[in-house]
A and B are shown apart, each in its own frame.
Chain A
């Protein structure tokens, strides 16, 4: 009599396994196949195109009832196996019991429903089978439907793209910092996000879901930060969970999946398993390639041949029309690894190869995946690429040809492309001037005014010269930000603005950064430029800040810190002084000093004490003095009309108003102000970034002073009749500085570069521009006018960041 083979699960793995088995020996077994789904086996991978409407279900069926019948398989579709009885060697389903000699478990996996309240509401759908797809399609039929996808991995993004093309408004909520983080590095993740956003899909990374809301149907998804996303359906694509329930109940060895050996046999010699439900060598799989290998091995084991399953490298491609993306192998950096990176920002291409001992061990490609199979074959063959390493990244078609031309992008600009934004000069105006004999930057400036104003387009103008004149123009070596890029500060700022780049990976990609994550020179600069340009959208990156700004205190030479609370306009009260004295006592502060900025510095504080000390100071109503920041430092004042016999205006009051308006703002370098009550200038206003001298008839506002490494007297900006006007002039000047200066240029350096006249035109003469500058400053301040310590000094925060993560002094002693 033939042996009885029972297979649980009519999915992709068992389908392939049966093909292999029948190829080897058509008559070895009497086969009974249980499948919980009401139909035969289909290509589950193609559910995404079905959802997108690109394919019909019929087109993706691989093994229908007829196929099984032809092969003598007894099909039990629509019947779930609820129990395996290993003693009696039978399986239990709704229709009774079925005996087996050999049993194959191929139950696949199920969508992981993230454990938040509301995850069982109608309208919360997994993405696993045809049933799920039909539910989603039904929802997309209704007009103005909204879908929220939880999970920005392969499955989630395919669902997002499909539902988007079906006309739904789609939001993807992804827990991690970038999309598909298991397959892609941040740069490729950024490009992918950009592509999806350009299709109107809303992508939120670092999205922590708190609950799914609704009564008898989902209404919305609530995030930890309080944001609410409306939803008619919620698609759970946050991962899969191997379907191991019946195996666990039968007391088979189950870890994350059903544990199998190299021959696909479980801990019971008569029970085999394959597919997504198994775990082999501590690994579970979620892609079909390895499952097909398992199918081969399992079929051989069943026919008493020897075969062993060897974990393969698996590659990933995202099946979203118009997105070319490929990833395989390892892509993290490591001790013994090197990387080759190629970026072509213009065409949105990114390629990265990870090498180990002259062999490729992984690759990530975005935008152009045409060479992916060539690289993949090199990975699989573990081929030595030492010889071709120099040109490897260019792929098989490389003919020893031309290196990338940095000027090509400029050459490709259309004639009407604007080069100089300040003066509205387009490329053709410049090329015409060149044709008419203007052959250097000065001549272009003189004849067209291009780059004659803020100067940020200088690099571009020079490139147009170089493209037009060829060898006759020697491009001045551009002063790049640092070794990570050839671009100058101005170029990068311009690109951030014109291409609307809002994250650091975006800037590094579009500007062709040569390193994977920048360095200590460029990262703080980029962080500032992004904050200044997108105050509401960009999220400040603490890890790109110098220690002082990250820890909100000045580091001292011995690694301790100084604590310097604000004293608005240099005014204080007995209560504040008492709080400072108490803090100094309580935290054993070694030195207390009156600074040159009219306030009190507590020096030599231990890092661990910072949050507690600030909690005390906050309690007493004091906030950070930002003595550490590239931002507003102090506004020094004199006693003015309140007390002084010469005072003409309320200099103290104006100073306090200004400080309250400006504090917390980030600027290219530090900004210091002073207001003196009369020309005797006791507050030393004429050596500050902005200095105001009160006179009988109003306020003299002057700018661009300094008294540090260079000594500079301020130059008059304008005279203001009212206090309000003085404030507006000051704010507009600072905002113009924020928008145009290079990172780490003090205001005086920047004013020298652009010329005081250029500044005056915008801040003094053009009232509309002045108002617009003030408005943009205020928008930024709506985010940044806060005390960093208010948040940092909460107990959880204190615990997380300020103390050592572990103390081994005890353990080591043992």
Chain B
């Protein structure tokens, strides 16, 4: 069991939008979908480092703002003909608060 970190209130993120959390490993983007699902993936696009948190969110996917690669928020995989992926992080909502699983952040730190 890891100690989930309370990040913010769900309402701090607009529906179909994202905000970033600064971490030692760079920014992690927290997404909120149109129906209040929350996902966390690396903010940095593997193509040319576009900030994914600034992309347009549709369904459970985001389109990178720089060159329109589309990433599945659930898996972090690029969709369509583009090849690449970003790391995903555990995140959940409890009583309107967003909780981030730090396991991945710390394990990467140790590794």
What is the interface of chain A, defined by CB distance below 8 A to chain B?
Answer: 177, 185-186, 331-335, 515-520, 523-524, 542-547, 550-551, 555, 557-559, 800, 804-809, 811-813
Contact check, B56 vs A809: say whether CB atoms are below 8 A apart: no
Given A546-B65, A805-B7, 9 additional A-B pairs, CB 8 A: A186-B34, A335-B37, A524-B56, A543-B17, A544-B16, A544-B56, A800-B12, A805-B13, A808-B102
Asked whether A809 and B58 contact (CB < 8 A) given A332-B36, A332-B37, A546-B65, the answer is no
Residue of chain B at shortest CB distance from A545:
B56
Contact of B5 with A808 in the complex, beta carbons under 8 Å? yes
Q: Is A557 a contact partner of B48 (Cβ separation < 8 A)?
A: yes
CB within 8 Å of A: which B56-111 residues: 56-61, 63, 65-66, 68, 70, 74, 100, 102, 105-106, 109
Tell me if A812 and B20 are in contact (CB < 8 A).
Answer: no
Candidates B13, B15, B22, B55; contact of A177 at CB < 8 Å: B15
Query: What would be 21 A-B contacts, judged by CB atoms less than 8 Å apart?
Result: A332-B35, A332-B37, A333-B33, A334-B37, A516-B35, A517-B34, A542-B14, A542-B17, A544-B16, A546-B56, A558-B49, A559-B50, A805-B7, A805-B8, A805-B19, A805-B20, A806-B22, A808-B5, A811-B5, A812-B105, A812-B106
Quick check: A550 and B54 within 8 Å, CB to CB? yes
B54 and A555: CB pair below 8 A?
A: yes
Question: Complex Cα distance A780/B8, Å?
Answer: 37
Whether, in the assembled complex, B41 has its beta carbon less than 8 Å from a beta carbon of chain A, the answer is: no
B74 close to A335 (CB less than 8 A)? yes
The answer to whether B22 touches A804 (Cβ under 8 A) is: yes
Residues of B within 8 Å of A557, CB to CB, are: 48, 66
- Does B12 lie within 8 Å of A515, measured CB to CB? no
Report Cα–Cα, A811/B21, bound state, in Å.
12
Provided the pairs A800-B12, A805-B13, A808-B24 are in contact, do residues A515 and B56 lie with their beta carbons within 8 angstroms?
no
Are B58 and A517 neighbours in the complex by a CB distance under 8 Å? Answer: yes
Tell me which of B17, B68, B109 contacts A812 (CB under 8 A): B109
Given A186-B34, A333-B37, A807-B22, A543-B65 contact (CB < 8 Å):
no
How many Å lie between the Cα of A611 and that of B74 in the bound state?
32
| Identity of the chain A residue whose Cβ is nearest the Cβ of B54 in the assembled complex | A547
**A808 near B65 (CB under 8 angstroms)?**
no
Give the distance in Å from the alpha carbon of A515 to the alpha carbon of B70 in the complex: 15
Question: Is A517 in contact with B14, judged by CB distance below 8 angstroms?
Answer: no
Residues of A within 8 A of B74 (CB): 335
Please provide the 10 A-B residue pairs with the shortest distance between their CB atoms, ordered closest to farther. A520-B63, A520-B56, A547-B65, A543-B16, A547-B54, A805-B19, A805-B8, A517-B34, A519-B58, A807-B22
| Pairwise interchain contact A185-B23, C-beta atoms closer than 8 A | no
> Quick check: A523 and B58 within 8 Å, CB to CB?
yes
B35 touches A185 (CB 8 A): yes
A219 CB to nearest B CB, Å: 32
B108 and chain A: residue at smallest CB distance: A812
State the B residues within 8 Å of A (CB).
5, 7-8, 12-17, 19-24, 27, 30, 33-37, 48-51, 54-61, 63, 65-66, 68, 70, 74, 100, 102, 105-106, 109
Check B65–A806 contact: CB distance below 8 A.
no
Chain B contacts for A177, CB-based, 8 A: 15
| Pair B48/A543 contact, Cβ less than 8 Å | no
With a cutoff of 8 Å between Cβ atoms, the chain B residues found around residue A812 in the complex are 23-24, 102, 105-106, 109
- Chain A residue numbers with a CB within 8 Å of B66 are 555, 557
Whether A806 touches B8, Cβ cut-off 8 Å, given contacts A186-B34, A523-B58, A546-B65, is: yes
Give the shortest distance, in Å, between B50 (CB) and chain A (any CB): 7
A186 to B59, CA, bound (A): 13
Closest CB in chain B relative to A252 CB, distance in Å: 23
A543-B56 CB under 8 A given contacts A333-B33, A559-B49, A805-B7: yes
A517 to B, closest residue via Cβ: B34
Contact A516 B34, beta carbon cutoff 8 Å: yes
Chain B, Cβ-Cβ closest to A484: B58
Interchain CB contact under 8 A, B59 and A806: no
Residue of B nearest to A812 (CB): B24
A439 to B17, CA, bound (A): 49
A375 to chain B, nearest CB (A): 19
Minimal beta-carbon separation of A353 from chain B (angstroms): 15
Question: Whole-angstrom distance between the alpha carbons of A557 and B58 in the complex?
Answer: 23
Which residues in B have their C-beta under 8 angstroms from that of A523? 56, 58
Using CB atoms, name the residue of chain B closest to A185: B35
**Separation of A559 and B57 alpha carbons in the complex (Å):** 18
Question: B52: shortest Cβ distance to chain A, in Å?
Answer: 10
Contacts A332-B37, A520-B58; A809 near B7 (Cβ below 8 A): no
Contact B15 A543 (CB under 8 A): yes
A520 touches B24 (CB 8 A): no
CA distance A803 to B40 in the complex (A): 17
A518 closest partner in B (C-beta): B58
Q: Is the CB of A543 within 8 A of B14?
A: yes
User: Which residue in chain A gives the minimum CB-CB distance to B109?
Assistant: A812
Residues of A contacting B16 in the complex (Cβ-Cβ under 8 angstroms): 517, 543-544
Q: Output the least CB separation between A484 and chain B (Å).
A: 8
Contacts of B50 in A (CB 8 A): 559
Which residues does chain B contribute within 8 Å of A811, judged by CB atoms?
5, 102
Taking a contact as CB atoms under 8 Å apart, the answer to whether B65 and A809 are in contact is no
Of the listed residues A331, A557, A808, A811, the one surrounded by the most CB atoms of chain B closer than 10 A to its CB is A808
Whether A520 and B51, one on each chain, are in contact in the complex, defined by CB atoms closer than 8 angstroms, is: no
Q: Do A808 and B21 form a contact, CB below 8 Å, given A335-B74, A516-B34, A558-B49? A: yes
Q: Give Cα A394 to B37, complex, Å.
A: 28
- Report A518 CB to chain B, min CB distance, Å: 6
Q: Report Cα–Cα, A333/B35, bound state, in Å.
A: 7
A804 adjacent to B60 (CB under 8 Å): no
- CA of A547 to CA of B109, assembled, Å: 31
Q: What residues on B are CB-neighbors of A543 within 8 Å?
A: 14-17, 56-57
Q: In whole angstroms, what is the CA distance A807 to B20 when docked?
A: 9
User: Which of A516, A545, A800, A806 lies at the interface centre, i.e. has the most chain B CB atoms within 10 A of its CB?
Assistant: A806
- A555 vs B27: C-alpha distance when bound (angstroms): 17
Give Cα A804–Cα B27 distance, bound, in whole angstroms: 9
Chain B neighbourhood of A555, CB < 8 A: 51, 54, 65-66
| A632: min CB distance to chain B, Å | 23
Contacts A186-B34, A812-B23, A812-B24 given; does A806 touch B7 at CB 8 Å = yes
State the CA gap A331–B54 with chains docked (Å): 27
**Shortest CB–CB separation between residue A568 and chain B, in angstroms?**
30
Q: What residues on B are CB-neighbors of A542 within 8 Å?
A: 14, 17
Chain A residues within 8 Å of B35, by CB: 185, 331-333, 516
For A515, give its contact among B13, B59, B106 (CB under 8 Å). B59
* A517 and B102 form a contact (CB under 8 A): no
Whether A520 contacts B55 by the Cβ 8 Å rule is yes
**Given A551-B54, A557-B66, A559-B49: A809 and B8 within 8 A (CB)?**
no
| Chain B residue nearest in CB terms to A505 | B34
Q: Min CB distance, B39 to chain A, in Å?
A: 8
Q: Which residues of A contact B102 (CB under 8 A)?
A: 808, 811-812
